A and B are shown apart, each in its own frame.
Chain A
C-alpha cells in the first residue's frame, strides 16, 4: 500500500504540471486576447466565405460558409495525398526491385535516382517542378494534342471529361464482380485444402472484373461519352480550353515532386524488405517444388512485407504532411485556403490554426491506423 502510494506521487505531480502548463497557456492567451479586443469563438465557420478557390472537387462558391471552404480545401489535400501515395508506391516498388537487379545499368540508374532525389530538400524540388519544368510547357494555343484529345499546357492539363449514363448500374456490376472474386477465392482455398486441386484463380478473377462491367454496357444500358476539351480564345494572344477536365499545373507539380521524393524512401524500404528474407527460404521453397512465381508470392513477399510495411507507413504520413508545402505554389490545399485566406479574412488565428493542426493529426492517425491494421493482417500468426 505504502509502496503503491509512493509510486503514484510522481505520476500525480507530472499530471499536475501538465495541467498547470496548459492552464497557463490558455489563461495567457485569454488575457492577451481580451486586452486586444479579440473574441474567441468558432461562430465564423458559419459566415459567408466570400472568396473563391481555384480548384475544388465539390461544388464551392464564395457564397458558401467558411466550413464548406474548409471541406473543399481538405478534399484537395486528400486528393494530392492519395495521388502521391499511389504514385510513390508504384515508383518506389519498381525502383526498389531495380536496385537489386543483376543488370548493371538498371541497378545503378536506380541507385542514382534514389541518392539524387532523397538528398535535395522537398521544397526546392517543388519549386523546380513548378517554376522550371512547367514553365517550359507550351501556351494553350501552341500545345500539341496528346493522343488527339488531351492538352498539356502551362495553364493546366486538359483531359476529356467522362459523361456517364446509368453510372450506378456500372458501379453495381463492379461490386458484383468483386463479390464474385471473393467467393471464387474462398472456394479455391477450400478446394486446395480438401482435395489438393488448384484453380486458375487469377484468370477467373480477371474474367469476372472484365466481363461483368462489359455486360453492363451491352445489356445494362450503360453508356460512356467523352467531352473533349476545345480551345477558346480569350483575347488576341491568350487562349484557354473549354469542356473536359482541367487539372491545374500546381496539382501536377506537387504530385510529381511529392511522389518522386517519397518514392526514394519507399524504394529503400522495399530493398531492405527483400534483402531481409533469408536466402535459405527461397532455396527451401524451391526444394519442395514451388515454381518461381509461387516462391515470390507464397514465401518471399509475405516475409518481406512484414519488414516493408512499418517504415512505409512513416513515409505515407510524411507525404501527407509534406503536402502542406502546396501553399508555396498556389495549390489550394488546407494550408493555403483555410490556414491562409480564411485566417486572413477572419483574423481567427488561434481557432483556425488549432483546427488545421487537429485535422492533420487526425489524417495521420487515420492513415497509421489503416496501415497498422494491414500490418496486423500480414504479421506472423503463431498457431
Chain B
C-alpha cells in the first residue's frame, strides 16, 4: 500500500514535471526569439536617435519615452525586469533592415503602420501606441497661421525615408503648390537646417514637431499649424514569422492600455489581486492562465503594470509632464472620448 502511494506520487510528480517541462518548451520551441531573449538575458529594442517623449536618452544613457516603455514592458513580462533592455538607436533609413536582419527583436520607434510596410517587407505591426498625424511648423514671425497661406516656391525640411516624404508630395500636389523638399537622414540635422532658415517650414508627425520644437534655439518663435494632413498610427513592429513573439509584444502593449481602463496603476497593482472584478484579476495574474500560451508565468502582466505602469502613467511621465503634448487628444481612452481601444485580456 505504502509502496503503491509512493509509486503513485512519483508518477504524479513525473507527469507534473513533464507537463510543466513540455508547456515551457512548447512555447519556447514555437518562439525562437523568446528562447534567444531568455538565453541572452535582455530584450533587443530598436529606438529613435532621440525624440523627446518617445525615445530619448539622457546624459547618463538612460532611455525614456512611450516607445521605450513598450520594450520595457516586454522585458518585464519575459525576463522579470523592465531594465533588461538593450536599446539600439536607429535612423529612419536603418530601422527596417535592422529588424529584418535580426539585429533587434522589437522596433519601437514612432513608426507608421501602412499596408505596404506590413505586407511587403517582412514586418508585422502589432498595435498602435500613439495616434498621430503629419503637420507643419513655421516661424511665428512669418504670419502664417494656416497651410492655405503657403505659396509657390516654399521649401520644406523633413526626414528621409519616412511616410512624411510621400504625404508632403500628396499634400502640395493636391493644393497645386510647387515646393522644394530638403530631406536629411537625422532629425537633429533637419532641426538645425530649419533653425538656420534653410527651409520655410518643417514637416513631420505632429508629436515629432512638438518634441523637436524644444530643441530649437528659441521654441516660442515657432508654431505648429492646426491642419493635419495624414493619418499616422505609430506602433511597435516585429519580424514576420514568429507568431508567439508577435503576441507577446502585442499583449504587453494591450496590457498597459487595458490596465489604465480598469484603473490599475503601478502603485495599486498588488492590491488589485483581491478585486471583485474578474477582468481586473486577470490583468494582475490572480485569475486564469493568461501567460501559459506565451510560455510565460501567470504574473507577466502584473510585472508590466508594477514596473512600467499603465499607458496613462507612461503618457503622463513622458509626454504630458515634459510639456510636449499635455493634451492627449485621440490618445485618450475610448471611455474618455479618445480612440484607444484594445481587445480584452481573457
Are A36 and B239 in touch, CB under 8 angstroms?
yes
Q: Is the CB–CB distance between B193 and A37 below 8 Å?
A: no
A343 lies within 8 A of B93 (CB): yes
Supposing A236-B142, A347-B117 touch, asked if A36 and B241 sit within 8 A by C-beta, the answer is: yes
Least Cβ distance of A70 to chain B in Å? 16
Candidates B169, B180, B184; contact of A62 at CB < 8 Å: B169
Residue B231 lies at the interface, judged by CB distance under 8 Å to chain A: no
B160 CB contact (under 8 Å) in A35, A240, A336: A336
A236-B200 in contact (CB<8A): no
- A36's nearest neighbour on chain B, judged by CB, is B122
Shortest CB-to-CB span from B122 to chain A, Å, is 3
**Within 8 Å of chain B (Cβ to Cβ): is A235?**
yes
B337 close to chain A: CB less than 8 A: no
Quick one: given A236-B143, A237-B142, A341-B183, are A51 and B198 in contact (CB under 8 Å)?
no
Q: Are B181 and A235 in contact (CB under 8 A)?
A: no
Chain A residue at minimal CB-CB distance from B195:
A135
Residues from 95 to 109 in B contacting A, C-beta threshold 8 Å: 96-97, 100
Q: B199: nearest residue on chain A (CB-CB)?
A: A155
Say whether B122 contacts A33, CB under 8 Å: yes
For residue B94, which residue of chain A has the nearest CB? A344
Assess the A238–B198 pair: CB atoms within 8 A: no
Q: Do B182 and A330 touch (CB < 8 A)?
A: yes
A interface residues, how many (CB within 8 angstroms): 44
What CA separation (Å) do A240 and B179 show in the bound complex?
11
Q: Which residue of A lies closest to B190 (CB)?
A: A330
Say whether A340 contacts B153, CB under 8 Å.
no
- Cβ of B166 and Cβ of A345 under 8 Å apart? yes
Asked whether A50 and B166 contact (CB < 8 A) given A235-B142, A237-B142, A238-B142, the answer is yes
**For residues 131 through 180 of chain B, which have their beta carbon under 8 Å from a beta carbon of chain A?**
138-139, 141-144, 149-151, 153-155, 160-162, 165-166, 168-169, 173, 179-180
Q: Which residues of A contact B155 (CB under 8 A)?
A: 155, 240
* Cβ A344 vs Cβ B92 within 8 A: yes
Alpha-carbon separation in the docked complex, A52 to B172 (Å) = 11
Q: Is the CB of A235 within 8 A of B161?
A: no
A54 to B183 Cα, complex, angstroms:
8
Contacts of A37 in B (CB 8 A): 122, 240-241
Contact with B151, one of A33, A55, A235, A344 (Cβ below 8 angstroms): A235
Say whether, besides A36-B100, A236-B142, A343-B93, A327 and B173 are in contact (CB < 8 Å): no
Q: Are B241 and A35 in contact (CB under 8 A)?
A: yes
Whether the Cβ atoms of A235 and B120 lie closer than 8 Å is no
**Do B153 and A344 touch across chains, with their CB atoms under 8 A apart?**
no
In the assembled complex, 24 residue pairs joining A and B whose CB atoms fall closer than 8 Å, in A order, are A51-B169, A52-B165, A54-B182, A62-B169, A62-B173, A134-B196, A154-B196, A154-B197, A234-B151, A235-B151, A236-B142, A238-B142, A242-B153, A250-B182, A329-B184, A329-B189, A330-B184, A340-B160, A343-B93, A344-B92, A345-B166, A346-B121, A349-B97, A349-B100
B: residues with CB less than 8 A from A are: 92-93, 96-97, 100, 116-117, 120-122, 138-139, 141-144, 149-151, 153-155, 160-162, 165-166, 168-169, 173, 179-185, 189, 192-193, 196-198, 200, 239-241
